[in-house]
Amino acid sequence: MDINQSKNQKLQYWSAAAMLCMLTYVLYTTFGVISVFALLLLPFALYSTIKASTAFVILFILFSYFRLHEAFPVLYNFKIPKMLALAAMLGIVWHLFISLKLKPFWHTCHAMFTLFFFWITVCVFMATNRAEAMSMYTGTLSKVFLMVFVISWLINTAKLMTYTRIGIMISGALLAGVAIYNKLNGIGLIEGTRVTISREYRSQIGDPNDLSLVLLFPVAFFAGEVFNSNNKPVFRFLAFLGMLLMCWAIIATQSRGGLLGILTIMGFFISKRIKNPIVLGGIGAVAGLFLLAVAGINDRQSGGAAEEGVDASAMGRIYAWQAAINMALSNPFTGVGISNFYVNYFFYSPHWDGKNHAVHSTWFQVLGEMGFVGLVLFVMLIVSIFKSLRRSNLYCKSKNKESLLVNVHILQAGLFGFMVSGTFLTQAFTWPLYIVLSLTIALERLLTKEEDDKG
């Protein structure tokens, strides 16, 4: 019996070798010698993909959020986000169904996010322009939904949490460097003063308000490292330089929402050191006036000092918010549909100046595109994140977990910065909130797992 099994195994090996040789010959005659090298490297590539699946997931998020391939045109034609997405999916499938190293779990924030995403799906099919809504749904929202679960399941150690923080800070600094370079050299400026990046590619960061939003998120990470007294002085100094770089880049966008976000994040960390509300308020007022002066808001063509009374930029937001309210009143359950505010602006705005406008508010975006039900679910999702971070904060303080407490403070600052800047920036369906959500779940799971292991 053993002899027969040995013969069968040898036959299988020789058959596999013969098939590999035939495949190599076919590829060589069809595509040339490069395909042969590709075939030989394929096993090593698959092995690396599986072993480094978490790294590919983190890189996919960084490239998708910071649009690094658009900020650096030399990378644009390599389709890096798609390649990273394929590599990440391969590793996820392997660890989830074959190696079983990926351990799924359920969290209350998962439940709230799933409920919110379910209502997003309903709003897509009820949209006035279903093609526009479906494009947003399949192009961005489906990736967000998948990655929320993947990130929260994969980031399961303190070391991976640190790597994610570092990746966000480095990516933010790179993008800020490009923004400052464009500002100093007058590249891609709109209204003569407001910086953009890769506007020629119709990139998301080609709009100064959206660029300020993308740059704002890493500010919380740099600030968290600056205010972390357990860090080495050299590292805190480098983080301080990075924080100044991010603030400079946001100032160059002349986005009032971005400036409010900076004040919120800095105010959060300073409030940990200064408890007197009067002193804290005074610092905030002085800092706000300083940022407005440095940013040169008065020099803007829209919303600058040349406009009397309520400036055109502010009135444009008021008209957009009125349009969002009208959309919700007309469609109280589902609104006009995801990504449908812009195309419906004409029908619901009390003022028409010849062109459609963006809503310029996260809260009114959700209200207009998802109705009152969607807004309630959105607020409940944010509340669930806040409660999870509060639980993690209390646990870290009670157990003296200073190394993990910095993660809590960073995510809290990021959440508050999102909530305040979201009043003037359209970011309901972009990455920042959902990265905060994913890392919040991963952090609380890390803490509870640690407690369970001790128990």
- pLDDT of res. 37: 53
Contacts of 322 (CB under 8 A, 6+ apart): 349, 350
Write down the pTM of the prediction.
Answer: 0.84
Question: In tens digits, what is the pLDDT along the chain, a chain of 455 residues?
Answer: 455 556 555 655 565 556 556 655 555 555 555 555 554 544 544 555 556 778 888 888 899 889 898 999 888 888 888 888 777 777 777 777 777 777 889 999 999 999 999 999 999 999 999 999 999 998 889 989 988 998 899 888 888 899 999 999 999 999 999 999 999 999 988 888 899 998 888 888 888 988 998 999 999 999 999 999 888 899 999 999 999 999 999 999 988 888 999 999 999 999 888 877 787 788 777 777 777 777 666 565 554 444 444 456 678 788 899 999 999 999 999 999 999 999 999 899 888 877 888 898 999 999 999 999 999 999 999 999 999 999 999 999 888 888 789 999 999 999 999 999 888 888 889 888 999 999 999 999 998 876 555 55
The whole-angstrom separation of Cα 359 and Cα 428 is 11
- pLDDT of res. 45: 47
- pLDDT of res. 365: 95
Q: Annotate 187-217 with DSSP letters as a single string.
A: -S-BTTTB--S-GGGT-GGGSHHHHHHHHHH
Of 75, 90, 85, residue with least CA distance to 45: 90
Convert 25-63 to b/e letters by CB count within 10 Å (16 or more is b). eebeeeeeeebeeeeeeeeeeeeebbeebbbbbbbbbbb
Beta bridge partners of 190: 194
Q: How far is CA 309 from the centre of its chain?
A: 36
Contacts of 6 (CB under 8 A, 6+ apart): none
Q: What is each CA distance from 257 to 205, 212, 215, 310, in whole angstroms?
A: 15, 8, 12, 17
- pLDDT of res. 304: 43
